[in-house]
Amino acid sequence: MKKNGKELNKILVIHGPNLNLLGKREPDIYGETTLDEINNRLKTVGEQKGIFIETFQSNYEGAIVEKIQETIGRYSGLIINPAAYTHTSIAIRDALALLDIPVIEIHLSNIYQREPFRHKSMITEVVTAQIAGFGAYGYTLALEGIVMLIQK
């Protein structure tokens, strides 16, 4: 699939800090699905749609910023769960603001039903859309949504 001469078949999914512990960490909030299970599901759905899914997880803000910068000219869309950096990282926000591709912010839990400090997302103003509160299924929704946005 191409648009304006650009290949539209690669989507990057970035997972932020502590998401490597999904399935073990606070399953009452984040569910029992592991990060590997989420990534495998995304890759399977991506294959069905003819889209290559690359996943990346880091607990380090600088590594996430560098990965966002690497999307320029290489990916047709970005799905990001910045986890705790959602509420604190101007650096991640500024990196996302550089992008000219659809970006979907995702959260497993509904951040607006949690502690007040989680109600403010530093990145919402620079992303295309936000999905929150659907648990692991939210990633599939994000993939469906980003494919729709890319195909427009």
pLDDT at 1: 45
Q: Which residue, among 116, 136, 61, has the nearest Cα to 94 in the 3D structure? A: 61
Chain position carrying tokens 């039903």: 113
Average of per-residue pLDDT values in the chain: 89
Exactly one of 75, 85, 107, 139 is catalytic; name it.
107
Helix (H, G, I), strand (E, B) or coil at 92: helix
18-67 pLDDT, tens per residue? 999 988 876 676 667 899 999 999 999 999 999 999 999 999 999 999 99
The structure's pTM equals: 0.89
CA distance 61 to 73: 22
| Amino acid identity, position 63 | A
Active-site residue flag, 30 = yes
Contact, 135 vs 32, CB < 8 A? Answer: no
Q: Which CATH architecture has domain 2-151?
A: 3-Layer(aba) Sandwich (3.40)
Per-residue pLDDT averaged across 116-138, rounded? 87
pLDDT at 45: 96
Exactly one of 15, 30, 75, 139 is catalytic; name it.
30
89-99 pLDDT, tens per residue? 999 999 999 99
Active-site residue flag, 60 = no
Domain layout of the chain by residue ranges: 2-151
CA distance 36 to 108: 15
DSSP per-residue string spanning 111-131: GGGS-GGGS--SSGGGSSEEE
